[in-house]
Structures are given as C-alpha cells and as structure tokens.
Amino acid sequence: MPANGNILLRAALIFLFVCAMSALSSSQNGTATSASKPLGLPGAPNSADLTKGRMQDATASFQRGDYSVALAGFQEITAADPSNIVAHNLAGNCALRLKDYGVAVASFKKALELQPGESHNEAGLIEAYVRAGMSKERDAELERLVQLKKEGRLPANFHFLYDVFSAGNNRVEVAKFYPDLSSGYHFRYWFDQVDADGKQLRRIALESDDVDQSSFAKEHPQEAAAGQRRFSLDGYAHLSHTLYHFYDGEPTYAQVRDEVMGSFSGKLKPSTSSTFNTGAAVAGQATPSAPPK
C-alpha cells in the first residue's frame, strides 16, 4: 500500500493467508473441484476443499487488483463459514481499497470477535475508522491498545494509520507508533507525503533518539527522571536528511501536524540539512535509518 498504515495490512494478508493455507493443506491434500456438485454426494468435494479453492480464487483476484470480485469471494466464504478469520481479514482489506469503509469496519470487527486483540485486525479496524472520518471510534480503539500492551499482546514497533489529510495537490498519511515508541530511532509519527498515484515523496518523522537524551537529562533532570524525553522533527527524502528542531518533552499531535503542514508549504525551514551517498534515508523505505544529528 502507499501508506505505512497499509504496510501492516499487507503483512496481515500474507501472514493470515499463509497460516490458513498451511492449516488447510495439512488436513486436506485433495485438489479443489467444481463447486457445482452438492456436498455429501459420492465424488463431491468436502467443505475444506471448497473453502481452499475459493480462498485461492479470491486471493488471486485480490493480487490482480480485482477487489470487487475478491470481496464477493471472501464474503461468500464468510457466509458459509462465519468462523473463517482469514476471509474476514481479507474482505476488510478489499473493502479498504474499494473505499467501502462500512464493510471494512464490519469485516475487521468480525475478525476481532473471533480473535480479540489480534494486532493485524486491530490496525485494519483503526485504518477503516480513519479513512471513514470516524475519529471518536478511532480514539476509543486506541484505549484498547493500552490494555493489549499490558497483556503483552502487541508486537514490537506496532503502528497503524492514524490520520489522513491534504497538502496541496498531495496527501499526507500519518502512521502512529503506539502505545510504545518504535525501536531504533524511537519514532512516534511518520508523516508520509504521497502524490495522486500513491508514490511516496518524502517523510517527516517525530522521533526521540537515544543520543539526544543525555543532554536533555542534564538540562531537565526532574523531567527526565519522571520519564519524559527529548523529541525532534526530522525529514527524509531521497539520500537526504533534515532536522527542523527539538522539543523538550513530547509535543501534542496537533502541534506537530501544524508544523509538518508548515514544512510541506515551505513556511517551516530546517535548521540543518545533509545529503549522503547511501540509501539510508530514501523516501519510500518502511523504516528509514537516519544519520546522526
């Protein structure tokens, strides 16, 4: 997908589908045959064979970008087998691409009923809320993530689509790392500027590098002892890195969003800028690696 919230959904497709196919192939070794024969008659395929064949057909349609056909296939599967969490997940992914956000919400919710707290479907549901403009529902779902983290049920570097807005002729898709900051450079947000074709142009990140924390602790010992950190606003484009400025303590999302908009419009200027001859900050990478500030 063009945005980082969508990267996690792609991972869901691969992870969940492979798991489902492995389970099916381990229990049923026959090939899928025509679904026109009634089940239970001599020579008729059993339900697992039919499900496997339909899943393969629907997934092939998804991979071709024929999302309407794929969605119909996955919905047929879930109608026959409401417990098929993989089909619910993939139906949600199809609906996201078709911008049918009501169906996407319903599909991811059903998947979460079957396996509460599953991280791919949590991310999918939040993305559906974001794209549907359902910010209250999005925020309510974020509260669940805190409990899932306490229970140890979220993967490291868990993130999801948090916001989408326009920036001139382009759009900005915001990935949020929550409840924890990411590892590495400790990202909180990625603001990815993408064009009308979905091509990523550049990224601005709110991050909290470990290298910046020693100076913060010397200047603000009480705040550091209380767990606060120094953050920075950094930009990444093709073979370049820019630093806009630092924050003592974590800024609000609204503040960062306004400053990112200022950067995209040219009002906010970087304090430093550097270029280098490695691929470390190429726009479009899922996890850009920044040079030292």
Q: Do 33 and 137 reside in the same domain of the chain?
A: yes
2 or 56, higher pLDDT: 56
Q: Do 102 and 213 reside in the same domain of the chain?
A: no
For the chain, percent of residues with pLDDT exceeding 90: 73
SS3 annotation, the chain: CCCHHHHHHHHHHHHHHHHHHHHHHHHCCCCCCCCCCCCCCCCCCCHHHHHHHHHHHHHHHHHHCCHHHHHHHHHHHHHHCCCCHHHHHHHHHHHHHCCCHHHHHHHHHHHHHHCCCCHHHHHHHHHHHHHCCCHHHHHHHHHHHHHHHHCCCCCCCCEEEEEEEEECCEEEEEEEECCCCCCCCCEEEEEEEECCCCCEEEEEEEECCHHHHHHHHHHCHHHHHCCCCEEEEEEEECCEEEEEEEEECCCCHHHHHHHHHHHHHCCCCCCEEEECCCCCCCCCCCCCCCCCC
Domain boundary among 137, 155, 173: 155
Mean pLDDT of the chain: 83
- Give the pLDDT of residue 27: 34
Q: Do 191 and 167 reside in the same domain of the chain?
A: yes
Closest CA to 158 of 149, 147, 167: 149
Q: Sorting pLDDT into bands at 50, 70 and 90, what band is 275?
A: confident
Q: Do 138 and 178 reside in the same domain of the chain?
A: no
- What Å distances lie between residue 234 and 241, 246, 264, 271, CA to CA? 7, 9, 13, 10
- What Å distances lie between residue 188 and 175, 181, 207, 231, 244, CA to CA? 8, 5, 6, 9, 16
Q: Do 37 and 83 reside in the same domain of the chain?
A: yes
Torsions phi, psi for 73 (to 5 deg): -65, -45
Domain that holds residue 263: 159-293
- What Å distances lie between residue 214 and 174, 218, 224, CA to CA? 29, 6, 9
Name the one residue in this structure whose structure tokens are 């794209």: 131
In whole angstroms, what is the distance from residue 168 CA to residue 3 CA?
18
Q: Do 118 and 164 reside in the same domain of the chain?
A: no
Residues in the chain, total = 293
Structure tokens at 46: 């059993």
- Give the pLDDT of residue 66: 97
Q: Do 180 and 289 reside in the same domain of the chain?
A: yes
Task: Indicate if the pLDDT at residue 277 is higher than 90.
Answer: no
Handedness of CA 236, 240, 243, 244 (dihedral sign): negative
Q: Do 201 and 180 reside in the same domain of the chain?
A: yes
Q: Do 4 and 91 reside in the same domain of the chain?
A: yes
Q: What is the average per-residue pLDDT within 148-163?
A: 96
- Structure confidence by residue, pLDDT tens digits, 126-140: 999 999 999 999 999
Q: What is the average per-residue pLDDT within 220-228?
A: 97
Q: Do 198 and 249 reside in the same domain of the chain?
A: yes
Torsions phi, psi for 163 (to 5 deg): -160, 155
Contact yes or no for 210/184 (Cβ under 8 A)? no
Residues 6+ apart with CB under 8 A from 103: 71, 91, 92, 95
- For the chain, the domain total comes to 2
pTM value > 0.75: yes
Given its phi and psi angles, is residue 131 left (phi above 0), alpha (psi -120 to 50 degrees) or beta? Answer: alpha
Task: Indicate if the pLDDT at residue 206 is higher than 50.
Answer: yes
Task: Indicate if the pLDDT at residue 149 is higher than 60.
Answer: yes
Q: Do 182 and 120 reside in the same domain of the chain?
A: no
In whole angstroms, what is the distance from residue 202 CA to residue 204 CA?
7
Structure tokens at 227: 């767990």
Q: What is the average per-residue pLDDT within 35-63?
A: 66
